[in-house]
Amino acid sequence: MSTPAECRDRAAQCFKLAATASSALQRTVLLNAANSWIALANQGEHDIAQQRPEGACEQRGSTRTAA
Protein backbone atom coordinates (compact mmCIF):
# COMPACT_ATOMS: atom_id res chain seq x y z
CA MET A 1 0.00 0.00 0.00
CA SER A 2 1.32 3.45 -0.90
CA THR A 3 1.59 6.25 1.62
CA PRO A 4 0.00 9.64 0.91
CA ALA A 5 3.50 11.03 0.21
CA GLU A 6 4.18 8.28 -2.32
CA CYS A 7 0.85 8.99 -4.01
CA ARG A 8 1.74 12.68 -4.26
CA ASP A 9 5.14 11.77 -5.75
CA ARG A 10 3.42 9.66 -8.39
CA ALA A 11 1.02 12.51 -9.13
CA ALA A 12 3.99 14.84 -9.60
CA GLN A 13 5.53 12.36 -12.05
CA CYS A 14 2.29 12.27 -14.02
CA PHE A 15 2.10 16.07 -14.11
CA LYS A 16 5.70 16.23 -15.32
CA LEU A 17 5.04 13.68 -18.07
CA ALA A 18 1.83 15.47 -19.07
CA ALA A 19 3.79 18.66 -19.62
CA THR A 20 5.83 16.94 -22.32
CA ALA A 21 3.11 14.68 -23.77
CA SER A 22 3.12 14.46 -27.54
CA SER A 23 -0.66 14.40 -27.92
CA ALA A 24 -3.73 15.81 -26.27
CA LEU A 25 -4.94 12.30 -25.48
CA GLN A 26 -1.69 11.40 -23.68
CA ARG A 27 -1.82 14.66 -21.75
CA THR A 28 -5.44 14.04 -20.72
CA VAL A 29 -4.72 10.48 -19.59
CA LEU A 30 -1.70 11.61 -17.56
CA LEU A 31 -3.58 14.51 -15.96
CA ASN A 32 -6.43 12.17 -15.04
CA ALA A 33 -3.91 9.75 -13.52
CA ALA A 34 -2.30 12.59 -11.56
CA ASN A 35 -5.67 13.67 -10.21
CA SER A 36 -6.43 10.09 -9.20
CA TRP A 37 -3.13 9.86 -7.30
CA ILE A 38 -3.95 13.12 -5.51
CA ALA A 39 -7.40 11.79 -4.59
CA LEU A 40 -5.78 8.63 -3.21
CA ALA A 41 -3.34 10.71 -1.17
CA ASN A 42 -6.17 12.80 0.25
CA GLN A 43 -8.18 9.70 1.09
CA GLY A 44 -5.13 8.13 2.75
CA GLU A 45 -4.60 11.22 4.89
CA HIS A 46 -8.27 11.19 5.84
CA ASP A 47 -8.09 7.52 6.77
CA ILE A 48 -4.97 8.10 8.88
CA ALA A 49 -6.66 10.99 10.69
CA GLN A 50 -9.67 8.79 11.44
CA GLN A 51 -7.44 6.13 13.01
CA ARG A 52 -5.95 8.53 15.59
CA PRO A 53 -7.15 7.86 19.12
CA GLU A 54 -9.46 10.44 20.68
CA GLY A 55 -7.59 13.37 22.17
CA ALA A 56 -4.62 12.96 19.84
CA CYS A 57 -5.49 16.24 18.16
CA GLU A 58 -5.06 18.22 21.40
CA GLN A 59 -2.05 20.47 21.55
CA ARG A 60 1.02 19.06 23.23
CA GLY A 61 2.40 20.92 26.18
CA SER A 62 -0.92 22.42 27.08
CA THR A 63 -0.80 24.68 30.12
CA ARG A 64 -4.23 23.54 31.29
CA THR A 65 -4.33 22.01 34.75
CA ALA A 66 -6.93 19.88 36.44
CA ALA A 67 -9.12 21.71 38.96
Contacts of residue 40, Cβ cutoff 8 Å, sequence gap at least 6:
2, 4, 7
Per-residue pLDDT of the chain (67 residues; tens, 9 = 90+): 789 999 999 999 999 999 999 999 999 999 999 999 999 999 999 999 999 876 655 555 545 444 4
User: Cα 57 to chain center, whole Å?
Assistant: 19
Distance CA 23, CA 51 (A): 42
Rounded to two decimals, the pTM is 0.74
Distance CA 33, CA 22 (A): 16
Distance CA 12, CA 10 (A): 5
Domain boundaries, the chain: 21-52
